[in-house]
Amino acid sequence: NELAILEFIHLLVETMDRHFGNVCELDIMFHLEKAHFMLEEMVMNGCIVETSKSNILAPIQLMDKAS
């Protein structure tokens, strides 16, 4: 479903926005691994597994707190 993929890209960007606050390319560049983590949380094995922003960001926030 092509339109769903479009939605998903939207969701991804919004999640990153929520995490980084007004995300731009610089954020992604400097925190590439975080961006990847987020993506990993959302998509696995080709399927969308998580769509709730809070659920996605929770582990990442934990990680940030721990470091």
Partner 1 sequence: MARDLAPDVERLLQFRDPNIRKKAALCSIRIVKKVPDLAENFINPAASLLKEKHHGVLLTGIQLCTDLCRVSAEALEYFRKKCTEGLVKVLKDVVNSPYAPEYDISGIADPFLHIRLLRLLRVLGQGDADASDCMNDILAQVATKTESNKNAGNAILYECVETIMSIEDNSGLRVLAINILGRFLSNRDNNIRYVALNMLMKAITVDTQAVQRHRPTILECVKDSDASIRKRALELVYLLVNESNVKPLTKELIEYLEVSDQEFKGDLTAKICSIVEKLSPEKIWYIDQMLKVLSEAGNYVKDEVWHALIVVITNASNLHGYTVRSLYRAVQTSGEQVTESDAVDVIEVAIKHHTTDLTTRAMRIKDIIVQDKGNLVLELQQRSIEFNSVIEKHQNIRSALVEKMPVLDEATYSGRRAGSLPAAVSTSQGAALNLSNGVAKAAAAPLVDLLDLSSDDTPAPSSSGNDFLQDLLGVDLSPASSQAGQAQKSGTDVLLDLLSIGSPSAQDSSFTPNALSKSSQDDKTSIGALERLFSPSAPSIQASSPAGGSPMVDLLDGFASGPPLPETNGPAYPSVVAFESSSLRVMFNFSKQPGNPQTTLIEATFMNKSSVIYTDFIFQAAVPKFLQLHLDPASSNSLPESGNGSITQKLRVTNSQHGKKALVMRIRINYKVNSKDTLEEGQIGNFPRDL
Work out whether the CA dihedral 65, 15, 58, 28 comes out positive or negative: negative
* 54 part of the interface to partner 1, by CB under 8 A: yes
Q: Indicate which single residue of 55, 62, 63, 64 sits in contact with partner 1 (rule: CB under 8 A).
A: 55
Tokens of 33: 């691994």
Site string for partner 1, 3-22 (x = CB under 8 A): xx-xxx-xx-----------
> What minimum distance in Å lies between the beta carbon of 51 and partner 1?
5
- For 22: left if phi > 0, alpha if psi spans -120 to 50, otherwise beta; the answer is left
* 66 part of the interface to partner 1, by CB under 8 A: no
